[in-house]
Chain A
């Protein structure tokens, strides 16, 4: 089967790639573009480890075909830190010890970024609701929720 030529914007940069029409966006990112920060936990859209932003919307990249990314803007965990600076969410995850094994962390940070871009001042309940598509088996979510709330506060310019 011949591969398709796809043109996208990936982490802010114009990016072209070839992909098999059967490949998911997740497979394309990991196997064709070698961006392995986006993780596969289930490939059925249940765990959120593969979350990316597709035109700004948090999306399970295992549920989208690579060819569907044509003309779209894709943001992955690799694009969250910018010009050598960690994003406030990344800093908050480190300071709150909000990861243990760390495999769910990229998906959760990307999903939380989408939340904070539209809801700069979320309640605890809103953060829990928003992240309920992202499974974490290590932490019990406590420190993750604290980290997202701390990052939101930092992004609003409040002193810690």
Chain B
């Protein structure tokens, strides 16, 4: 595959196919669907963070007038019988998922589902929850890394043996897994260093913060088949996970993805879906379940709190001689924090001879962590990119030069073992250095920070189908939910490949029975992997079109060429003959006479996603009287490989950076000593609002990915990775305060300024 440099449609920014529906309120999101006879389900959630369930009595709830069904853990197959790992970007233990969606013997966090009811109205369902009788044996909650890893700590899971150690332990532990990556010799490396930076950095539990709460409608038919409508990043994943939790053959379930109001990784798993199916089965009525915002905070997402210890050795020339990174990561109630990817990405921007990275996956009595945009990478990037900034300051070196000195490039072997194909980190650093932002003057109390970041990007499985309509337009069908404009990307790639106008292509997202298998919209994979399936399908359509033209011209298909949306006889066949080219529209119109409707489908496991690197420049102004930090200028520079829809690529860069800014400055879960979240609302969990931000400038660097026909790399996740350190580095530059504990909110910064 080669990357062509001039395109008719690729790289433009047309209006998305679903645009009008979304600006008129017509688009149907998760909670917008209704079914005739529908009733409403609600979940009873644990009021304590850690405890053993002694008894559950649903009968009083069932006696409330208008209540049609009530369920608890007993209504599902034994969780121990649910084996194996889920598919998807962040594989999870199915037994854990089964116990997370409905508690069995223990409750493991405040908000853990313990029972559910379905009733004629949401108000009746809420009333019925009050009548469910539950008795608990309360256990001491384990709420942070130190408590969880303490000797004699209360155990969340009495059968959890730490994995990843050279010798399998015999005692159970709250440490679920340990990972180590290393190369070279640390001692030698540190002995070559002129300076050593050693620091511990912490990040709080943070939520994806999608505006649309989780919502599902489930219906069970008399023939044993069920239909689910829900907002999800992956309808096939919902089908598979729900079937396993229910103990059903997945062929009984059809999942229709609604429009999705944000996900950022948080909608790659299931919460309500099997509960709604079970309530629908028991009541004989379609059941709608919609989470409150409080439920979303208490029981979905979030991403892990973390503590990263970094020891960095550097020589006077600004070359890293050794790096030792130790990461401890809260998984929440079940194993599976993004510790592994946090370790794998920690030092990946740099070409290092000596390093050691160790990670710990630690369970605590908080909600089970779910994927959040580049899961884990921002945690270690905050630490490592802060340390590099401290080194640059100590040595008096330019923070971009110091990164260029060590930057990974084509041929560098990443800490996790992969040898890089062409990558664009150096190009983003050079673009940052050349950007007018980098040399713009600063005023007192203003400062500038630089940071870089990496995300792998994913490939995984995708399918696509293309149907030509009899008027020469095309419909592209995939099951990749459109979370940020992917229908437009699919339509652009189809138009470019077939050589027809973008306006002649419609792209739709279909259900699990109408479309071929697609993994989740996640891992920044959709434009790359589903895009490749779309291009493959379009190429098959072209094969058909050449055959049809050949039949009309009485030539062989190999004598027909496809150019600019038209079939042309090759030079030999056209010599001396007056053959007019046939357009796609003409061939589509005559399809009935040449073999019938023209359509094609393609599926693949996409390899070679191509890593995404980015560099960000952040300017802040700190108010020394209040400790408030204002972002006054921000530039996001990223290698997109090739931007298919330019404006939506810019949008990913801007949105990702702003999530990182929120995490750096304000966002955190605040718990009381009993493990109850104290700020489970958008008022108190403070995400950035329009007034908090300046315009976010973007620079798209394009180092083509050789594994995509147009050169695409994923772009969605990388932009959140550098932002946390870019903000912290800017604050240090402004007021000489090295902040190592996020979020850097006004009281914390004021305290630091007053003690300095």
- Using CB atoms and an 8 Å cutoff, list the residues of chain A in contact with chain B: 20, 22, 30, 34-44, 46-47, 49, 76-78, 80-81, 86, 89-90, 93-97, 99-106, 109, 124, 127-129, 131-145
Q: A135-B211, A142-B693 are in contact. List 6 more A-B contacts (CB 8 A).
A: A40-B213, A100-B648, A101-B261, A135-B689, A136-B211, A140-B696
B657–A140 contact, CB under 8 A? yes
Task: List 15 A-B pairs, Cβ < 8 Å.
Answer: A22-B123, A34-B34, A38-B25, A39-B29, A39-B212, A41-B213, A78-B25, A81-B24, A89-B23, A94-B23, A103-B29, A104-B261, A129-B690, A137-B208, A138-B484
Contact with A along B11-36 (1 / 0, CB 8 A): 00101101110111111110110100
A72 to chain B, nearest CB (A): 19
Which chain B residues border A103 with CB–CB below 8 Å?
Answer: 29, 210-212, 259, 261-262
A142 to B696, CA, bound (A): 6
Does the CB pair B651–A139 fall under 8 Å?
A: yes
Q: Does B515 contact A (CB under 8 A)?
A: no
Closest chain-A Cβ to B661's Cβ sits at a distance in Å of 8
Within 8 Å by CB of A101, from B26, B262, B290, lies B262
* Shortest Cβ distance from residue B11 to the other chain A in the assembled complex, whole angstroms: 14
**B260 interface residue per 8 A CB criterion:** yes
Q: From residue 363 to 380 of chain B, which have CB atoms closer than 8 A to chain A?
A: none
Which of B403-411, B554-562, B679-687 is the interface stretch?
B679-687
Encode contact with A along B638-651: 1 for CB under 8 Å, 0 otherwise: 00000001011011
Pick from A97, A100, A104: contact of B483, CB under 8 Å: A100
- Interface of chain B residues 195 through 242 with chain A (CB within 8 A): 208-213
Q: A97-B16, A101-B262 are in contact. Are A128 and B696 (CB under 8 A)?
A: no
> In the complex where A39-B212, A101-B484, A137-B659 touch, is A142 in contact with B682 (Cβ < 8 A)?
no
Q: Are A42 and B690 in contact (CB under 8 A)?
A: no
Q: For B461, list chain A residues within 8 Å (CB).
A: none
Known interface pairs A102-B22, A135-B687; A140-B693 also in contact (CB < 8 Å): yes
State A39–B261 Cα separation when bound (angstroms). Answer: 10
Tell me if B293 and A128 are in contact (CB < 8 A). no
Cα–Cα distance between A140 and B618 once the two chains are bound (Å): 14
A37 to B682, CA, bound (A): 21
The 7 nearest A-B residue pairs measured at CB: A37-B25, A103-B261, A140-B658, A102-B22, A77-B25, A97-B647, A46-B682
Least CB separation from A90: chain B residue: B23
How many Å lie between the Cα of A93 and that of B658 in the bound state?
Answer: 20
Instruction: Determine the chain B residues whose CB is within 8 A of the CB of A102 once the complex forms.
Output: 18, 22-23, 27, 259, 261
Which of B263, B650, B695 has its CB near the most chain A CB atoms (within 10 A)?
B695
B261 touches A140 (CB 8 A): no
Chain A interface mostly: loop
Cβ B690 vs Cβ A105 within 8 A: no
| Contact A44/B681 with A100-B651, A137-B210, A140-B655 known, Cβ cut-off 8 Å | yes
Q: A94-B15, A145-B690 are in contact. Are A37 and B24 (CB under 8 A)?
A: yes
B710 sits at the interface (CB 8 A): no
Bound form: Cα–Cα A137–B209 in Å: 7
A86: which B residues are within 8 A, CB to CB? 20, 23-24
Which of B29, B31, B658 meets A141, CB within 8 Å? B658
The chain A residue sitting closest to B288, CB to CB, is A31
CA distance A38 to B20 in the complex (A): 15
Complexed CA–CA distance, A40 and B215 (Å) = 11
How far does the Cβ of B653 sit from chain A's closest Cβ, in whole Å? 8
User: B691 at interface (Cβ–Cβ under 8 A)?
Assistant: yes
B264 contacts chain A at the CB level, 8 A cutoff: yes
For residue A150, give the distance in angstroms from its CB to the closest CB of chain B. Answer: 13
Assess whether A43 is in contact with B292, with CB atoms less than 8 Å apart: yes
Nearest residue in A to B648 (C-beta to C-beta)?
A97
**Complex formed: what's the CA distance from A89 to B20 in Å?**
12
The CA of A138 and the CA of B645, in the complex, are separated in Å by 16
When distances are taken between beta carbons in the complex, the residues of chain B under 8 Å from A141 are: 658, 688-690, 693
* In the complex with contacts A128-B691, A137-B264, A40-B31 CB distance below 8 A: yes
Contacts of B645 in A (CB 8 A): 97
Cα of A124 to Cα of B693 in the assembled complex, Å: 11
Q: Are B485 and A97 in contact (CB under 8 A)?
A: yes
Other-chain residue from B13, B29, B261, B695 in contact with A97 (beta carbon distance below 8 A): B13
Q: Which of B441-489 contact A (CB under 8 A)?
A: 483-485
Nearest neighbor of B292 in chain A, beta-carbon distance: A43
Which chain B residues lie closer than 8 Å to A127 at the CB level? Answer: 690
- Contact of B654 with A by CB under 8 A: yes
Q: Give the Cβ gap from B638 to chain A, nearest Cβ, in Å.
A: 14
Name the residue of chain A whose CB is nearest to the CB of B13: A97
B:550-578 near A, CB below 8 Å: none
**Neighbour of A143 across the interface among B34, B212, B260, B654, CB < 8 A:** B654
